């Protein structure tokens, strides 16, 4: 408690926290070829270099004789055989691929990475790789004045992280979520640096407490791990999109979510009974507001025992799930890792009997206090336990449930340290380690167990998983919401850079609690937030116990009508969003993007945290202050059309934009296309509309992706991949399209049309080589086609 008073800044508190000083690895004594790479035997430690691809190099240092090359479960890429040219002189070794050059100077060991034409990507100065007496491992790199930093997973604060330091230690932070609140629930020890439009990335594959420091020194940044080894990957870029592609090559990409998972979701801690849930679903139906999911928070369980329902509150869960399903609504229950200590409770009995819980070295089960009271925690580092936990999810799938919400999986424990005792041992598939060494993996591995268990039980249907905690690679299993925010305008503002940086960190499927979790929301805040939510990859309204209810109708008809319109808009945009999810699945790219990702050579975009893009052609500049109806919007190069009014804005500069409460400032780049469906309800679309925003110059290529939205048949290519290109000229717009998917998939669309907005007077429209006359509609010229 004293930390919350001025005692926190008592002069005695500020003594150097450094435990031991930096020790350098020293001089290279010899070099050995091993495991497809080179080991540098140095004075104090050995360093191993490996090429994962010609554009990805891994650097491993530990103090063992032979560097241990084991990776964390975040890493899924296999080593490829890469052609590496090796040149050695007395003072240095040069390793050259067709994408990068690694230069190692030997006295002492210092590493730099350059482009094949000699531009420096990363380099080291006085200090490079080293360690400290207390077991920390650390790496210093040079920082240029123009370097910008992004990524680091789920962090609060602004977009550009230069001048900050971040710690990775999955933590349940209920209290403030201030700009400096750190760490939060997710640990993604990865960043991307941008230097004059060129980008590189570093992923530090260490699951213990890690710290990144871009603040303490002006010309150097560092990253260090509390324990374990220094094991990092350099991604050579060159654009920021290349870096994300490289990082997600190593840590994996998201599967396609079922379509219902990207619709509108309603949650509350908690809808406490079957009657309440049914009434909620009815209200949505009566009001005609589309809804795909209702969440069941902790009240559904029998005294918070996972894999149970409370018999009084939810007497017939199967019927409830079925009835809602008939209305097109899915139920997603919360599942926490803590298993109640209760000798008559099957999940606990089995866990104890079959040795699935985390234990101390001496053999006692570790117990912590969470919702169910004294609880044991499954040891997800053991594959056997992952399987056991996954199989328990049959309890849910048998009821017709297809999605799970994992919470408290940092793991959060109600005690001073907020988590499990760090001396607890994890089995780690035969290589036991302490919780201190593996803490940050707990959420990821719970996610893996859950996702894989659901997948096994769903017979070819895609599961949906939402998780609070995670580590690098979490995108392979789950969508991430940003935890317990509050109903403050500031938290709406902060959610943008937070989600954008998550997206740059390989996690595309993210969103905050719309409306704010803690504290009371109000009509205006909820409306503005819902407008933004309609375009964040994950779209769920959630609020805490004891706060005002915040369903879209709670603040009067005026607000309700606007929110309804934006929730409908979400559904109209699903073909576009789903195509972007497909891009996240295939390339790792985020759906919600900072402007710098699309315009890395435009320095004006580097720090923009209050605007974002959806894909490469949609710009959103929400209003995030009360009673404000005008704001400055920066438009990158090109011309931008106001989605609602059709007004055109010249890019490369800032304009003042007006937006009453019913308007989200939303702009489409001229000369591009977005895919929509005019059906405003539900995730099933019957008509595909391809909206072309006419221009007089330029060309644009894109693709629209679709599949059945619910099974895993897309793994084998049952999908539509419509490749489109648009050429705009003064007098002509030429569109061409082709379904380039390898396998036929019966298209659900009865109709498909191009709608051309903003055609200039005598512009002719050609589609696949044929002149089209089309039909004039309110929106523009409509040309029906068959696909
Ligand atoms: O705050 O399960 O972040 O979304 O509603 C304690 C109850 C535990 C935290 C989650 C929140 C959820 C709540 N949980």
Provide long-range contacts, Cβ within 8 A and 24+ apart, for 717-721.
Answer: 717/741, 717/742, 717/743, 718/743, 718/744, 718/745, 719/743, 719/745, 720/745, 720/747, 720/787
Report the nearest-CA residue for atom 13 of ligand 1.
269
Q: What is the spatial distance between Cα 663 and Cα 573, in angstroms, rounded to a whole number? A: 16
What does the pLDDT read at residue 190? Answer: 98
Catalytic member of 124, 226, 310, 410: 410
Unique residue bearing structure tokens 């929730």: 567
Out of 408, 418, 516, mutate this one to test ligand 1's pocket (max ligand atoms within 8 Å of CB): namely: 408
Report the nearest-CA residue for atom 1 of ligand 1.
174
Q: How confident is the model at residue 36 (pLDDT cuts 50, 70, 90)?
A: confident
What does the pLDDT read at residue 283? Answer: 98
Instruction: Inform me whether the pLDDT recorded for 520 exceeds 80.
Output: yes
Catalytic member of 124, 160, 226, 484: 484
Lowest mean pLDDT among 131-135, 157-161, 678-682: 678-682
Q: Which segments within 552-686 are labelled E, that is strand?
A: 592-593, 612-614, 618-620, 630-635, 639-642, 648-650, 653-658, 666-669, 673-676
What does the pLDDT read at residue 760? Answer: 85
What does the pLDDT read at residue 308? Answer: 98
Q: How far is the CA of 652 from the centre of ligand 1 (A)?
A: 43
Nearest to 223 by CA among 123, 130, 151, 158: 130
Angle, CA 516 vertex, CA 512 and CA 520 arms, to 5°: 175
Angle, CA 21 vertex, CA 17 and CA 23 arms, to 5°: 150
Packing angle of the helix pair 557-572, 523-533 (nearest 10 deg): 10
Out of 154, 269, 370, 467, mutate this one to test ligand 1's pocket (max ligand atoms within 8 Å of CB): namely: 269
**Pocket of ligand 1, beta carbon within 6 A:** 174, 269, 297-298, 334, 407-408, 468, 483-484, 517, 542
Residues 441-479: pLDDT tens digits? 999 999 999 999 999 999 999 999 999 999 999 999 999
All domains in the chain, ordered by first residue: 21-251 (2.60.40.1760), 259-335+382-587 (3.20.20.80), 611-787 (2.60.40.1180)
What does the pLDDT read at residue 13? Answer: 54
Q: How far is the CA of 535 from the centre of ligand 1 (A)?
A: 24
Which of ligand 1's atoms lies nearest the C-alpha of 174?
Answer: 1
- Quickly list DSSP for 345-377: -HHHHHHHHTT-B-B-TTSPBPEEEETTEEEE-
Q: How far is the CA of 545 from the centre of ligand 1 (A)?
A: 9
User: 515: which 2 tokens?
Assistant: 């409306």
Out of 335, 479, 484, 519, mutate this one to test ligand 1's pocket (max ligand atoms within 8 Å of CB): namely: 484
Unique residue bearing structure tokens 């059309």: 641
Which of ligand 1's atoms lies nearest the C-alpha of 513?
Answer: 4
Q: How far is the CA of 273 from the centre of ligand 1 (A)?
A: 17
Residues 537-596: pLDDT tens digits? 999 999 999 999 999 999 999 999 999 999 999 999 999 999 999 999 999 999 999 999
Q: How far is the CA of 407 from the centre of ligand 1 (A)?
A: 7
Sign of the alpha-carbon torsion through 332, 444, 262, 524: positive
The answer to whether 687 and 712 are in contact (CB under 8 A) is: no
Instruction: Inform me whether the pLDDT recorded for 239 exceeds 70.
Output: yes
pLDDT, mean over the chain: 95
What does the pLDDT read at residue 17? Answer: 47
What does the pLDDT read at residue 787? Answer: 84
What does the pLDDT read at residue 751? Answer: 84
Instruction: Inform me whether the pLDDT recorded for 682 exceeds 70.
Output: no
Which of ligand 1's atoms lies nearest the C-alpha of 545?
Answer: 5
What does the pLDDT read at residue 11? Answer: 65
- Quickly list DSSP for 483-536: -S-BS-HHHHHHHHHHHHHHHHTT--SEE-EET-SBS---HHHHHHHHHHHTTS
What does the pLDDT read at residue 116? Answer: 95
Cis peptide before 367 (omega within 30 of 0): no
Residue 205 burial (10 A CB sphere; 0-12, 13-18, 19+): buried
Q: How far is the CA of 480 from the centre of ligand 1 (A)?
A: 14
Q: How far is the CA of 593 from the centre of ligand 1 (A)?
A: 27
Nearest to 500 by CA among 592, 622, 619: 592
Residues 719-767: pLDDT tens digits? 999 999 999 999 999 999 999 887 878 887 878 999 999 998 889 999 9
Query: Among this protein's residues, is 484 annotated catalytic?
Result: yes
Instruction: Inform me whether the pLDDT recorded for 685 exceeds 70.
Output: no
Report the nearest-CA residue for atom 5 of ligand 1.
269
What does the pLDDT read at residue 761? Answer: 80
Residues 615-670: pLDDT tens digits? 999 999 999 999 999 999 999 999 999 999 999 999 999 999 999 999 999 999 99
Residue 338 burial (10 A CB sphere; 0-12, 13-18, 19+): buried
Q: How far is the CA of 269 from the centre of ligand 1 (A)?
A: 7
Residues 87-134: pLDDT tens digits? 999 999 999 999 999 999 999 999 999 999 999 999 999 999 999 988
Sign of the alpha-carbon torsion through 69, 75, 79, 85: negative
What does the pLDDT read at residue 16? Answer: 44
- Quickly list DSSP for 720-756: EEEEEEEEE-SSEEEEEEEE--SB------SEEEEEE
Instruction: Please provide residue 273's backbone torsions phi and psi, each rounded to the nearest 5 degrees.
Output: -150, 165
Catalytic member of 245, 402, 407, 513: 407
Query: Among this protein's residues, is 761 annotated catalytic?
Result: no
Q: How far is the CA of 337 from the centre of ligand 1 (A)?
A: 13
Residues 60-93: pLDDT tens digits? 998 776 778 999 999 999 999 999 999 999 999 9
Stretch 778-787: mean pLDDT, rounded?
93
Report the nearest-CA residue for atom 11 of ligand 1.
484
The answer to whether 137 and 228 are in contact (CB under 8 A) is: yes
User: 694: which 2 tokens?
Assistant: 């006419």
Residues 426-439: pLDDT tens digits? 999 999 999 999 99
Query: Among this protein's residues, is 242 annotated catalytic?
Result: no
Unique residue bearing structure tokens 């201030």: 178
Which of ligand 1's atoms lies nearest the C-alpha of 267?
Answer: 5
- Work out the number of other CB atoms within 10 angstroms of the CB of residue 306: 27
What does the pLDDT read at residue 68? Answer: 87
What totals of helices (H) and strands (E) does the chain contain, helices first?
A: 13, 53
Which of ligand 1's atoms lies nearest the C-alpha of 268?
Answer: 5
Q: How confident is the model at residue 499 (pLDDT cuts 50, 70, 90)?
A: very high
The answer to whether 649 and 635 are in contact (CB under 8 A) is: yes
């Amino acid at each position: 408690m004293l930390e919350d008073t001025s005692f926190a800044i008592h002069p005695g508190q500020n003594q150097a926290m450094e435990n031991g000083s930096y020790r350098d690895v020293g001089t290279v004594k010899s070099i050995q070829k091993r495991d497809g790479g080179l080991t540098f035997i140095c004075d104090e430690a050995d360093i191993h270099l490996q090429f994962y691809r010609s554009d990805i190099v891994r650097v491993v240092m530990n103090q063992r004789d032979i560097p241990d090359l084991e990776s964390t479960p975040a890493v899924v890429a296999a080593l490829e055989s890469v052609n590496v040219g090796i040149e050695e002189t007395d003072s240095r070794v040069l390793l050259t691929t067709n994408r990068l050059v690694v230069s190692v100077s030997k006295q002492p060991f210092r590493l730099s990475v350059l482009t094949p034409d000699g531009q420096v990507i990363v380099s080291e100065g006085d200090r490079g790789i080293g360690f400290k007496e207390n077991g920390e491992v650390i790496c210093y790199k040079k920082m240029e004045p123009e370097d910008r930093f992004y990524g680091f997973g789920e962090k609060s604060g602004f977009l550009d992280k230069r001048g900050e330091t971040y710690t990775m230690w999955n933590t349940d932070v209920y209290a403030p979520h201030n700009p400096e609140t750190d760490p939060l629930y997710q640990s993604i020890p990865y960043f991307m640096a941008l230097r004059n439009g060129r980008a590189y990335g570093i992923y530090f594959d260490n699951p213990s407490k890690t710290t990144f420091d871009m603040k303490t020194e002006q010309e150097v940044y560092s990253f260090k791990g509390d324990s374990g080894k220094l094991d990092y990957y350099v991604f050579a870029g060159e654009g920021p999109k290349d870096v994300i592609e490289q990082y997600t090559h190593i840590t994996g990409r998201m599967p396609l979510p079922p379509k219902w998972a990207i619709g509108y979701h309603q949650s509350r801690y908690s809808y406490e009974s079957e009657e309440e849930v049914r009434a909620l679903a009815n209200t949505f139906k009566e009001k005609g507001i589309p809804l795909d999911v209702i969440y069941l928070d902790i009240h559904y369980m029998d005294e918070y025992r996972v894999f149970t329902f409370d018999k009084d509150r939810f007497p017939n869960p199967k019927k409830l799930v079925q009835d809602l399903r008939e209305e097109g609504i899915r139920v997603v229950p919360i599942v926490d890792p803590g298993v109640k200590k209760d000798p008559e409770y099957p999940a606990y009995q089995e866990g104890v009997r079959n040795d699935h819980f985390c234990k101390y070295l001496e053999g006692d089960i570790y117990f912590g206090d969470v919702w169910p009271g004294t609880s044991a925690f499954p040891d997800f580092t053991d594959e056997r336990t992952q399987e056991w936990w996954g199989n328990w999810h049959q309890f849910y799938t048998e009821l017709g449930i297809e999605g799970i919400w994992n919470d408290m999986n940092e793991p959060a424990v109600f005690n001073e340290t907020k988590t499990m005792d760090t001396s607890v041992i994890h089995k780690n598939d035969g290589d036991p380690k302490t919780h201190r060494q593996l803490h940050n993996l707990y959420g990821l591995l719970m996610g893996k167990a859950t996702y894989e268990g659901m997948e096994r039980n769903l017979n070819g249907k895609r599961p949906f998983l939402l998780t609070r905690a995670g580590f690098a690679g979490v995108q392979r299993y789950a969508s991430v919401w940003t935890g317990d925010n509050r109903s403050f305008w500031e938290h709406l503002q902060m959610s943008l850079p937070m989600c954008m940086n998550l997206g740059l960190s390989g996690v595309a499927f993210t969103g905050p609690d719309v409306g704010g979790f803690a504290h009371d929301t109000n009509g205006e805040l909820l409306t503005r937030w819902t407008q933004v939510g309609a375009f964040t990859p994950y779209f769920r309204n959630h609020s805490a116990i004891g706060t005002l209810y915040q369903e879209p109708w709670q603040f009067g008809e005026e607000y309700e009508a606007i929110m309804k319109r934006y929730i409908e808009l979400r559904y109209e945009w699903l073909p576009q969003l789903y195509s972007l999810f497909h891009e996240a699945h295939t390339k790792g790219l985020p759906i919600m993007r900072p402007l710098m990702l699309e315009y890395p050579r435009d320095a004006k975009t580097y720090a923009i945290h209050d605007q974002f893009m959806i894909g490469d052609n949609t710009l959103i500049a929400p209003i995030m202050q009360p009673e404000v109806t005008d704001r400055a919007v920066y438009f990158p190069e090109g011309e931008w059309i106001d989605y609602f009014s059709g007004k055109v804005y010249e890019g490369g500069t800032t304009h003042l934009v007006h937006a009453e409460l019913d308007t989200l400032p939303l702009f489409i780049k001229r000369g591009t296309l977005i895919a929509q469906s005019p059906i405003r309800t539900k995730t099933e679309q019957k008509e595909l509309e391809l909206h072309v925003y006419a221009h007089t110059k330029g060309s644009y290529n894109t693709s629209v992706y679709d599949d059945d939205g619910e099974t895993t048949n897309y793994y084998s290519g049952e999908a539509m991949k419509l490749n489109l290109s648009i050429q705009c000229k003064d007098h002509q717009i030429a569109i061409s399209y082709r379904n380039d998917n390898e396998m036929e998939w019966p298209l659900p669309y009865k109709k498909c049309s191009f709608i051309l907005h903003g055609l200039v007077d005598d512009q002719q429209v050609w589609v696949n080589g044929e002149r089209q006359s089309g039909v004039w509609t309110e929106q523009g010229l409509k040309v029906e086609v068959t696909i």
